[in-house]
């Protein structure tokens, strides 16, 4: 879940809805001109982008609150709650396509490997993180045996899934900050993309990586009062009757 402020309210977006935006990024990625172009097993890449957060479905159906009574933002999840989410995701993607599962597993490792290496978690949590990373390595070894894709292409696709995830989160978590997205795979090597906001939910990108001109995107969000919720059930009851609004986002080239 993504929790963003909106005056006296919170706007809550689900992780699968954020991932749907990543899928739209993948669909429009690159063109026959410019530095960006789709390469390799693109159908599986599209699936990995669109469904990389499918492991959140069960949690989003029954979300929890933190110690302050706030809906848990995805970055505030306890290890015991978040690891089952990321165990489901790669396996589900792999059922659709082994290469999609490989990319989702790499994405999960990209999230948790730095946290494990920092070593700031309690011993039991750090041990659980270590086991999870070992499990993902074993899963990828199994899936890699079913995939015929050059390793350089695998790494480029994995980097793109990470890029689309980050760009979607910049929109959904808002307001959009000035950002430089580095090491973006391109036709030759990598490039940087500058994100220059011109509104709370709109920005110019330079260079612009999407085919077909400016992008108009929407994501559903539920609006609830920004107050403490005493229990998980109290939050769930509030969400059950919360109005749903469609947040509109826009991305455009810096120059026409």
Q: Which two tokens stand for residue 149?
A: 């894709």
Q: What is the pLDDT of residues 29-41, one digit of tens each?
A: 997 656 787 877 8
Residues paired with 175 in a beta bridge: none
- 3-state SS of the chain is CEEEEECCEEEEECHHHHHHHHHHHHHHECCCCCCCCCCCCHHHHHHHHHHCCHHHHHHHHCCCECCCCCECCHHHCCHHHHHHHHHHHHHHHHHHCHHHHHHHHHHHHHHHHHHHHHCCCCHHHHHHHHHHHHHHHHHHHHHHCCCCCCHHHHHHHHHHHHHHHHHHHHHHHCCCCCEEEEEEECCCCEEEEEEEEEECCEEEEECCCECCCCEEEEEEEEEEECCCCCCHHHHHHHHHCCCEEEEEEEEEECCC
Q: How many angstroms separate the CA atoms of 42 and 38, rounded?
A: 7
Q: Which two tokens stand for residue 84?
A: 């089952």
Q: How many angstroms separate the CA atoms of 86 and 56, rounded?
A: 8
Residue bearing tokens 């589900």: 92
Q: What is the pLDDT of residues 132-184, one digit of tens each?
A: 999 999 999 999 999 999 999 999 999 999 999 999 999 999 999 999 999 99
pLDDT band for 103, please (50, 70, 90 cuts).
very high
Query: So what's the pLDDT on residue 52?
Result: 97
Q: What is the pLDDT of residues 186-205, one digit of tens each?
A: 988 899 999 999 999 999 99
pLDDT greater at residue 97 or residue 33: 97
Query: So what's the pLDDT on residue 32?
Result: 63
Query: So what's the pLDDT on residue 100?
Result: 97
Q: What is the CA radius of gyration of the chain?
A: 19
Q: What percent of the chain has pLDDT over 90?
A: 93
Q: How many angstroms separate the CA atoms of 28 and 56, rounded?
A: 25
Mean pLDDT of the chain: 96
The yes-or-no verdict on residue 95 having pLDDT over 90 is: yes
């Amino acid at each position: 879940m993504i929790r963003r402020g909106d005056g006296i309210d919170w706007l809550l977006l689900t992780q699968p809805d954020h991932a749907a935006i990543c899928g739209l990024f993948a669909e429009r990625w690159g063109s026959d001109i410019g530095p960006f172009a789709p390469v390799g097993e693109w159908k599986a890449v599209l699936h990995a982008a669109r469904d990389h957060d499918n492991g959140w479905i069960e949690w989003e159906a029954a979300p929890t609150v933190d110690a302050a009574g706030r809906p848990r933002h995805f970055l505030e999840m306890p290890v015991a709650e978040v690891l089952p989410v990321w165990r489901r995701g790669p396996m589900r993607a792999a059922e659709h396509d082994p290469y999609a599962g490989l990319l989702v597993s790499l994405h999960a490792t990209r999230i948790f490997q730095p946290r494990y290496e920092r070593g700031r978690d309690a011993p039991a949590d750090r041990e659980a993180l270590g086991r999870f990373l070992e499990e993902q390595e074993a899963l990828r070894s199994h899936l890699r045996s079913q995939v015929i894709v050059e390793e350089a292409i695998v790494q480029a696709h994995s980097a793109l899934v990470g890029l689309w995830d980050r760009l979607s989160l910049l929109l959904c978590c808002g307001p959009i900050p000035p950002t430089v997205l580095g090491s973006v795979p391109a036709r030759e090597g990598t490039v940087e993309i500058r994100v220059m906001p011109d509104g709370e939910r709109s920005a110019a990108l330079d260079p612009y990586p999407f085919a077909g001109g400016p992008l108009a995107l929407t994501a559903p969000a539920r609006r609830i009062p920004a107050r403490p919720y005493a229990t998980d059930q109290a939050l769930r009851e509030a969400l059950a009757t919360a109005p749903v609004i469609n947040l509109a986002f826009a991305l455009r080239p810096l120059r026409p």
